[in-house]
Amino acid sequence: MRPGVARLLPVARAELARRAAAALAAAGAPPPASLGLILSDDRELAELNLAHLGHQGPTDVLSFPMLPPAAFPPHGGQDPDAHRQGASVIPGRQFRLPPGRRTHLGDVIVSVERAIDQAGEGRGGQTGDVAWSARHELRLLVVHGTLHICGWDHADVDERAAMRALEDALMDEVSAGS
């Protein structure tokens, strides 16, 4: 966690880790696995956004998957060609891991600063027009980024609808549990 981010954090890190674990399970990620969850700020997300996507300015969440989408079970939030292009990719079968080791799925980096601003300005949620707490916004960003790690996307209407439905279900689960 970048210096200064901890004082901004409106939710326990353990709670965010539980949200990521729930998203991994819902997305069919191969157990056991690991996921990096990095809580940062706008400055770092802007640097990463420019370096990796060529986009200027900060964003709320970036995902860096280690496995191709075909490594996860087929789902409606995935490019339909993903399994035709990489059908033979199965986690843990590309190479052998030492006993007790986990497959690292990738890293999710969230701007706590951006989440707080979006929530405070009523620009939260999947549509950017939800007024809710920064706590809920951070939960959503962790779920959203984790689903991207597992091959979920929102590039077209069908993918977006499927991803949003799963995010809604996971957020409802969060709301019921808090």
Q: Could you report the per-residue pLDDT of 51-69, keeping only the tens digit for each?
A: 999 999 999 999 999 998 8
Given this model, what pLDDT does residue 2 score?
Answer: 61
Query: Is residue 78 a part of any domain in this protein?
Result: no
Considering only 2-6, 18-22, 116-120, 141-145, which range has the smallest mean pLDDT?
2-6
For the segment 151-178, the average pLDDT, to the nearest whole number, is 84
Query: Is residue 58 a part of any domain in this protein?
Result: yes
Query: What residue has token string 């292009």?
Result: 85
Q: What is the pLDDT of residues 71-115, one digit of tens each?
A: 888 888 887 776 665 444 444 444 456 667 788 999 999 999 999
Q: What is the pTM of this model?
A: 0.85
CATH code of the domain covering residue 63: 3.40.390.30
Count of domains forming the chain:
1
Query: Is residue 156 a part of any domain in this protein?
Result: yes
Query: Is residue 94 a part of any domain in this protein?
Result: no
For the segment 119-140, the average pLDDT, to the nearest whole number, is 86
Question: Residue 61's domain spans which residues?
Answer: 5-68+103-177
| Cα–Cα distances in angstroms (integers) from residue 121 to residues 58, 105, 118, 130, in the given order | 16, 33, 5, 9
Query: Is residue 24 a part of any domain in this protein?
Result: yes
Query: Is residue 90 a part of any domain in this protein?
Result: no
Neighbours of 7 (CB within 10 A): 7
Query: Is residue 166 a part of any domain in this protein?
Result: yes
Query: Is residue 142 a part of any domain in this protein?
Result: yes
